[in-house]
Structure 1
């Protein structure tokens, strides 16, 4: 009898000594819309929860949905509206609480109604999803169908992820006392989704058991009075050779380079765009590629049959965004620098950068295509951006997060 008790005690001791995963942060799947080349965040809103896809917007001050889908507007005398008065300055109309907001679709600030709803996100240990957790009294806004027309087909609204105190990330972090940090891994796959992590600096595990947080490099986020995420790009190199530029074209109004998930491709000041096209063409000459007429909106295209394929996409010169120091750079391989155009009588690979004119707000806007299969960590407590360059060199991809295992641990 005593031996059986001893065995049971040992079994219990082993069970309780097994380290259980810590499900203390959140995640959300990210889906690419291949029509408008945007990415949407999958989450659950309302009570009972309804699955929604919201356009991922790094420039949105808060999230919003269609006004016809909700009735949870708040009044001017509510505690939530009073809480907004110190930072957002609510505007009262017919006892409705309104605030001024911005997003990347409208560009200019506009007044929106404030509402609250229930948000649910899966918990995560960085390796798997856990059970859903509710974020009650989630503050968002709504808009009319005019703006909805600008969204991807399946999007029901917009997920604001800017530096605003009302962004999705800021509200989740505050509600659960988590670090004010999130990470995005956008998938370029036609069918497989990427992932966003909220409230954690890692680990971020991707099959086959690779923690991408170990491969992060860092550069400061510029402290400019803006809700945008801006970094300091001091030069651009092709195959290690710098573009010959007037330095002021890299720092229009000293604003830095903007990161934008609503811009499908990286947009450049005309001088930078033309210099990049020229140097990229010269560096590609040794590859004996056939240049074909460009396909809009791009400025340099090659016949697809001429390009060899590698693990990191078409074999073309690398493009480096140098971030302050020569030894800190975001390397762009062919999978992110080139775009495949396949339609009717066109089969081409085009350099995936767009001319933004000679008077842009930002001399460089780093777009979604250049972010795909790169892990990006936005840390507002340390005021820095973590970046990996292409995770394909580490034998994984953003579509490799394991969504199939759901462990019900709260």
Structure 2
């Protein structure tokens, strides 16, 4: 039995009306918050939300540049509030979908309804993907005042895409999909902001520890970490650059990238410029440029950039004893004669210089060196080959214990550098409920 597209559209509109009505009562929060856990075995970052009716906790791997949330619908997805998104809906158009499932040849169930909007679900780990049905369902996450956790908030019709069960292979154990936070009209930050009427803005703080949670805030600051350290006022900002060509593993032709690209113009190590082919830092026909990523565990550089970067770094580390490389790293050192500081091993400071010489993302030893053995540290940057799609991908390790704010309305990225200088870390948000 086919599901009526008009019923689906009405359901989506009712959800929107419900959220708007709640917003006008003054009961809606100014921000939401979710925990972020580091999976050291898979080198992924995960979170948990509650979805469906009745509610089910859903573990998701985070993709900061992902188009939308996708969830496995092939393994017993049960929910009375599930609603497929119709092909002719505004939601389908806004998502950038280029496909429609006119008729499904099995009995109606989540992931298989007639006249539904279809989208490509991506799993960046292995660059695999497939088609899935777009749908909406009840989602519940916690509110916050920026200091602690408040009451649970219900978003009645959060849109996501049904993914196939086989796509779960390679994800963190127990993950049922991926949480897309990218530059898209259907990403989670945009949906939460639209439903709850707060700014289209989110801040991500990844913990370097697998035993203590980091945090993502949806909405504006303050962003307060124990012991009462407020970090939103000390961010530097650089414009977000739109890549007009999708950088996803699979996509519909004509769609722009949902990844967050920034205007990196140069790199300095201990104040010394790295000699780069700067044309690689520009985006040309979708190729080149610099973006941030939570699915790349370490920063990846095009080969010529990587070699020039390492050359200067080694010149500045003549006091370190080079040892055999440890995959995936090429340059490793003995840590026996390397002093430790509040911000990690005492190694050269790396500055990623943005659109202005006065705007730079400073990387200290805690984010540049990886402890791979008891007495071996490696430069945590990876050679990405001579012809990568994106010239520099700033990976998760370099983001840890830094707060990164994405402001979609102002099209800018804010960054803090290491919070360790402020005597706190991303694991110091107070998740103890105040409600």
Q: How would you bin the TM-score normalised by the shorter chain? A: 0.7 to 0.9
Q: 1:185, 1:398 within 8 Å by CA — same for their partners in 2?
A: yes
Query: What is the alpha-carbon distance in structure 2 between the residues aligned to residue 47 and residue 375 of structure 1?
Result: 34
Does structure 1 residue 25 correspond to structure 2 residue 31?
Answer: yes
Alignment partner, residue 43 of structure 1: 49
Superposition deviation, residue 101 in structure 1? 3.0
Per-residue Cα deviation, 1:190-232 (whole angstroms, up to 9, x for no partner)? 31100000022x1000011010101100000013322110001
1:83-94 to 2 correspondence within 5 Å?
Answer: 83-87=90-94, 88-89=96-97, 90-92=99-101, 93-94=103-104
Q: Which residue of 1 is the match for residue 294 of structure 2?
A: 261
Closer/same/farther in 2, CA of residues 188 and 271 from structure 1, 3 Å limit: same
Which residue in 1 is equivalent to 2:366? 335
2: CA distance between counterparts of 1:70 and 1:22? 29
Retained in 2: the 8 A contact 1:243–1:276?
yes
Change (3 A) 1:110 1:190: closer
**1:211-263 CA-partner distances (Å, limit 9, x unpaired):** 01011000000133221100011001110101112222333636420111100
Q: Under a length normalisation based on structure 1, what TM-score does the superposition of the two structures give?
A: 0.88
Q: CA RMSD in A?
A: 2.0
CA distance in 2: counterparts of 1:393 and 1:206, whole angstroms: 13
CA drift of 1:106 comes to 6.2
Matching residue of 2:160: 140
* TM-score, with structure 2 as normaliser: 0.83
Q: How many residues are paired up?
A: 379
Separation (CA, whole Å) in 1 of partners of 2:317 and 2:283: 29
Q: Which moved more, 1:256-265 or 1:241-250?
A: 241-250
What CA deviation, in whole Å up to 9, does each residue of 1:147-196 have, x standing for no partner? 10121113221101111111111111111111100000000013110000
Q: Does the Cα contact within 8 Å between 1:128 and 1:407 map onto a contact in 2?
A: yes
Structure 1 stretch displaced more, 86-95 or 294-303: 86-95
| Greater displacement, 311-320 / 88-97 | 88-97
Q: Quick check: 1:220 aligned with 2:220?
A: no
Question: Which whole-Å CA distance do the structure 2 matches of 1:152 and 1:108 have between them?
Answer: 16
2:174 corresponds to which of 154, 157, 174: 154
Pairing partner for 2:40 from 19, 34, 39: 34
> After the TM superposition, which residues 144-223 of structure 1 pair with which residues of structure 2 at under 5 Å, given as runs?
144-200=164-220, 202-223=221-242
2:427 corresponding residue in structure 1: 399
Q: Which residue of 2 aligns with 1:8?
A: none
Rg bigger for which structure?
A: 1
Which residue in 1 is equivalent to 2:89? Answer: 82
For structure 1, which segment, 46-55 or 90-99, has the greater mean C-alpha deviation from structure 2 after superposition? 90-99
CA distance in 2, matches of 1:275, 1:295: 20
- The answer for the alignment partner of 1:16 in structure 2 is none
Q: List per-residue Cα deviations over 1:89-123 (Å, max 9, x = no partner).
A: 45124215132235334647742112222111101
Give the superposition deviation at 1:321: 0.4
Q: Give the unaligned 5+ runs of structure 2.
A: 1-26, 105-113, 245-256
Secondary structure, in 3 states, of the residue corresponding to 1:284? coil
Partner of 2:247: none
Gap runs ≥5 in structure 1: 1-20
